[in-house]
Structure 1
Amino acid sequence: MTAADRVYHIIKQRILNGGYAAGSYVREAAISEELDYSRTPIREALRRLVSDGWVEAIPHHGARVVGWTQHDVEEVFELRVLLEPQVVRRAAKRIGEAQLSALSRFSEQMELLCQQDDERAVDEIAVLNNQFHAELVAAADSPRLQRLLETIVQVPVSRRSFHHYTREELLGSMQHHREIIRALQHRDGEWAAAIMRAHILAARTAQMRQKQPLTKAEVEHQCSKEFLNI
C-alpha cells in the first residue's frame, strides 16, 4: 500500500467507527502530525474520500464528513423497495447470456471473498457488488428508471462498505444474489422482484439496528448509486 492508501483506509475506518462524526472536519494538519506523513499523500487520500462519497470538500474550510439522518435513510429504503424490484422484473425479459455469465462470475468472486475475514476483502466485495448491480441495471434497459433511481439515492459510485453487516447477514446477501440469478435464468420477473424486495428489506433491517444518527458513509454500503447494493 502507498502512503495515500494507508491514510485513506485509516480515515475511512474512523468514519465508520464514529471516530469522525457526521459534520466534523478531517484536518490535513492534524493527520499529518499524527501519522507523520507529508501533506501530499494526505491530500491524495482526501481527494479519494471525496470522490468515494465519504466526505465533501467545503471551500475555504476543508473536508467534512457528510451525514444522513435516520429519516433520510428510512425514506430512501421506502423508495428503493418500490422501484428496485422493477429493475429485475424488466431485466428478466431482456437479459442476455453474457450478462447472466457476468452476474454469476461476480457472485462467485464475492462468495470466495466472504471466506476471508479482513477489511480489504470486504472492500473488494463492495467493488464486485457494484459491478453486479450495475449489470442488473444495464439489463433492465430503462434510462428513465435509472435516472429516477439516481435522483433518489444521490450518492456517488464508490467502494461501498459491508462493515456493519454480521456474517450471517453478509452470507444471506450473497444467497439473495444467487437466487436473483436463478430467477433471471428462468425469465421469471416476479420471482426476481420478490427476492429483490426481500433483499432490500433485509438491508433495511440491518441498517435500522443503528441507534444513533448515521453518517452518509455508514449508509452507503446499502444505499449506493448502483441502486441495488448488497
Structure 2
Amino acid sequence: MVRTATAEVHDEIKQRILDGRYQAHDYIRENRIARELEVSRTPVREALRELVSEGWLEAIPHHGARVAAWTEKDAREVFELRLVLEPMAVRLASKRMDAQRLDRLDELATRMEALTDQIEGRPGVRNEIAHLNHVFHRELILASDNQRLASVLDSVVRTSVIRRNFGNYDATHLRRSMRHHREILQAVAAGSPEWAESVMRAHLLAAQALHVRFTDAPARPEASHH
C-alpha cells in the first residue's frame, strides 16, 4: 500500500509543479502535503525523495525540499538533446504517420493558430498554447513508432515543460512557431522526411535562441554615444 500512496503523492506534487501552483524555490512541506492528501508522512517523504532524484525538487540541508529552478544550463542541455532527437523522430514519423494522427496534429495546429491571434488581447492564452504545443510535439514523437526514442524524449521534454511559459514569446515569435508547425505537417503529408527534419531543426533552433539567451556570446562592448 505504501508504494501506491507514494506514487499518488509523487504524481500530485509533479502535476502541481507543471500547473504552476508550486513555483521555483517554493518549499514543499511534508506535514502540509500529508494533511492535504490525507496520507501519512511516510509516502510523502518517499515521494519527495524520488522527486529530488528526478530533478523536480532539490534538497536543502536543514530546510527540506524545494522546487528546482530552471537554469540556463538546464535549458541548454535540453535543447542539445532535442536538436539531435526530435528531428530524428519527425523524420521517422513522416515515413510512418497514419491519416488519423495527421488529422489530430492538423487540428492541434489550427487551435494554436486561433489562440495566437488572440495573444495581444488575452495574455493568459500563452498557457493554453504551451499545453497544446506540448501535446503537438508529443504526438509527432509518438508517430515515429520508436518506443525508446519516444520515452527518452518524453523525459527530456517533460522536465523542460516545468517552465513551460511562453513568456519570452511575443506575437511575432509565436506566429513563426505556428508556421513551422504547419510546414512540418506539409512535409509529413508530402512524404518528405528530409524536409520535415530540416523544418523541425529550424523550429527548435528558433526556440533555443529565445530560451538560451546570449549564452556563450562574447561580451558586447558598451555602445559609445556619438
> Quick one: distance in 1 between partners of 2:108 and 2:177?
13
What SS does the corresponding residue of 1:140 show, helix, strand or coil? coil
Equivalent pairs counted in the alignment come to 180
Question: What residue number does 1:205 align with?
Answer: 209
Kindly state the Cα deviation for residue 94 of structure 1 after the two structures are TM-superposed.
0.6
Q: CA RMSD in A?
A: 3.7
Deviation at 1:151, TM superposition (A): 4.8
TM-score by length of structure 1 reads 0.64
| Post-superposition offset of 1:12 | 4.0
**Aligned pair partner of 1:164 in 162, 168, 171:** 168
- Contact preservation (8 Å) 1:25, 1:62: no
Measure the CA separation in 1 of the matches of 2:160 and 2:72.
Answer: 19
**Which one scores higher on RCO, CA 8 angstroms, separation ≥ 6?**
1
The AA in structure 1 aligned to 2:66 is R
Match of 1:123 among 121, 127, 132: 127
Alignment match, 2:148: 144
Q: Identify if the C-alpha distance between structure 1 residues 105 and 153 changes in structure 2 by more than 3 Å, giving closer, same or farther.
A: closer
Per-residue deviation at 1:65?
3.1
Q: Following TM superposition, by how much is the alpha carbon of 1:175 offset from its aligned partner in structure 2, in angstroms?
A: 0.6
Name 2:198's counterpart in structure 1: 194
1:107 partnered with 2:115: no
| Separation (CA, whole Å) in 1 of partners of 2:163 and 2:108 | 15
Q: Contact (CA 8 Å) 1:126, 1:159: kept in 2 or not?
A: no
Amino acid at match of 1:25: D
Render the CA deviation track for 1:96-148: whole Å, top value 9, x for unaligned.
11111111100111111112233431111122112211211121100121133
Following superposition, the deviation at residue 157 of structure 1 comes to 6.5
Once the two structures are overlaid, the 10-residue window that deviates more, 111-120 or 193-202, is: 111-120
Equivalent-residue separation in structure 2 for 1:158 and 1:187 (angstroms): 33
Q: 1:187, 1:72 → 2: CA distance?
A: 34
Q: Which runs of 5+ in 1 are unaligned?
A: 1-7, 16-21, 29-38, 45-49, 212-230
> Any idea what SS the aligned residue of 1:67 has?
coil
Q: 1:208 to 1:188 in 2, by over 3 A?
A: same
Residue segments in structure 2 that go unaligned for 5+ positions in a row? 1-15, 38-47, 216-226
Identity among equivalent positions (%) equals: 40
Distance in 2 of aligned mates of 1:174 and 1:103? 12
**Greater radius of gyration (CA):** 2
- State the match for 2:88 in structure 1: 86
Paired with 2:103 and 2:125, the residues of 1 have a C-alpha distance of 22
Do 2:28 and 2:67's aligned partners in 1 also have CA atoms closer than 8 Å?
no
